[in-house]
Amino acid sequence: MINGIMFQAFEWYMPTDGNYYREFKKKLDDLKRIGVTAIWLPPVTKAISLDNTGYGIYDLYDLGEFDQKKSKRTKYGTKEELLELIDAIKGLDMQVYADVVINHKAGADYEEEFMAVPVDWDDRTKEMGEYRKIRAWTGFDFPGRANKHSDFKWNFNHFTGVDFDSISGEQGIYKILGENKDWNWGVSAEKGNYDYLMFADIDHAHPEVKEELKGWIDWFIKELSLDGIRLDAVKHIDKTFMEEFSSYIYEKHGKDFYLFGEYWDGNLDNKMDYMSATNYRIDLLDVSLHYNFFNISKEGADYDLTKILKETVVSDEPLKAVTFVDNHDTQFNQSLESYVETWFKEIAYGLILLRKDGFPCIFYGDYYGIGGEFMTDPMKDMIDKLALVRKNYAFGDQDDYFMEKNLIGFLRHGNEEHPNKMVAVISITEKKTVSMFLGEDQKGKVFEDITGNTVEKTVINEEGYGNFIAEAGKISVYIEDGLPL
């Protein structure tokens, strides 16, 4: 999709009033106007409670349809309201992606007793005690759903680990024992083996689990008429299963169905290995680029801006990168907190929205502001301008002008359908100028900064060069004077 934009349609501290689907529907026209082409919805399946953002997953088949966990609706609303929202999105010719959580389950209906062994928190390959009987919440029979959509029941055999033994009252990580049972090994090698993340960890090597999840994803995609899914916590899920799972989705729903995943790791090699192991079917959120943004927002002039793309997915696999500035995981008071400081936000959004490579994602919390205790101001007006430039002018070949440690710029040449040039320049320490060659056919044209950060206009000289100014700590984005956004 040329110049597509994804919009992550939620943040961690959304209200729990159940009005989300109805309220977000009112925002769609404005998002369509600025060039958004796909909406990434939050987890829409029933979680352990109404105030859970959706990652404490209980029942994959309950989309706000059944009276379970003390409510029919989810945090975000009812199934009927969800379907109405999806119809509205598709009515504006935007795609719908849903967040899919298949790493773990939470809020079991009953406890079970089974054999397990405690392991070291920092090295899950190291057993820390004797094999023993424990009791944990691993039984799921979904009484409120009464077998509608699926009669599959989950028990301890379908999981690899839990984090609490109610017999001893001790917390920890317990590996569940059984015939041919172990941690799944096609996962991140962090902590020795990072199969276990939280709650009751799903065993993706179990034949019954594999068949159930395939059946569910087929139902889920059809039920909601989805165009894609975002896969949560993929570094904790066996990549052999994910290759099989993604292949099944392609077989059932075609190769245009979009898959992208959260492999939260700053190491580029690990992400490259994962994409290779899954036959490049799953795009990845560019976590390394996010951390580059975060680090420069902290370090300022001490950071070498010319290395902003170093060790990123977008630099090595540009067609597989979902680029983002922040998301729900990086917000304040979250386990992966790494929120990019405000002064750098506009620069970061300029880098993901205006450059040639990557599928950029705008974060709800940046666009509309974050709610609750960690409230932030919306940056809608700023992001709107950059998104409209992407929609109308960020086309064609790209020339990079990575000039010096605190000064970079780039030029987009346009294409046959969008022939106008676009220039972006960024300075961190002081007001500086970048000389760029736009072409002799551009001589005499006047360019202005649509961000308003630089007042001076740039006139292209006889040789086709222009001197483009960037103010300290700012991005300036130039298009020809008089062109509309």
Judgement on whether residues 263 and 282 belong to the same structural domain of the protein: yes
Residues 324 and 224 in one domain: yes
Domain that holds residue 452: 398-480
Same domain? For 307 and 189 the reply is no
Q: Is 262 a catalytic residue?
A: yes
Same domain? For 98 and 109 the reply is no
pLDDT of residue 347: 98
Span 231-272, pLDDT tens digits = 999 999 999 999 999 999 999 999 999 999 999 999 999 999
Domain shared by 350 and 279, yes or no? yes
Domains in the chain, number? 3
**CB contact at 8 A, 127 and 118:** yes
What is the CATH number for 261?
A: 3.20.20.80
> Are 268 and 298 in the same domain?
yes
Domain-embedded: residue 94: yes
What b/e string do you get for 243-280 counting C-beta neighbours within 10 Å, with b at 16 or more? Answer: bbbbebbeeebeeebbbbbbbbbeebeebeebbeebee
The pLDDT tens digits for 265-300 are: 999 999 999 999 999 999 999 999 999 999 999 999
CATH number at residue 197: 2.40.30.140
Question: Are 120 and 177 in a shared domain?
Answer: yes
Same domain, 230 and 258: yes
In a domain, 474, yes or no: yes
Catalytic site residue from 59, 195, 201, 232? 232
Same domain, 69 and 217: yes
Looking at the fold, whether 386 and 295 belong to one and the same domain comes out as yes
* One domain for residues 88 and 17: yes
Each residue of 156-198: pLDDT tens digit?
A: 999 999 999 999 999 999 999 998 899 999 999 999 999 999 9
- Output the domain CATH number for residue 453: 2.60.40.1180
Residue 485 lies inside a defined structural domain of this protein: no
Give the tens place of pLDDT for each residue, 386-398.
999 999 999 999 9
Among the three residues 365, 392, 419, which one is the final residue of a domain in this structure? 392
Tell me if 46 sits within 8 A of 74, measured CB to CB: yes
Supply the DSSP string of 338-391, one letter for each residue.
-PPPHHHHHHHHHHHHHSSSSEEEEEHHHHT---GGG-----HHHHHHHHHHHH
Average pLDDT, the chain: 97
Global pTM value = 0.97
Q: Which residue of the set 262, 286, 326, 448 is catalytic?
A: 262
- 1 falls within a domain: no
What are 6-45's pLDDT values in tens digits? 999 999 999 999 999 999 999 999 999 999 999 999 999 9
Per-residue pLDDT tens for 97-111? 999 999 999 999 999
In this structure, the answer to whether residues 382 and 427 fall within a common structural domain is: no
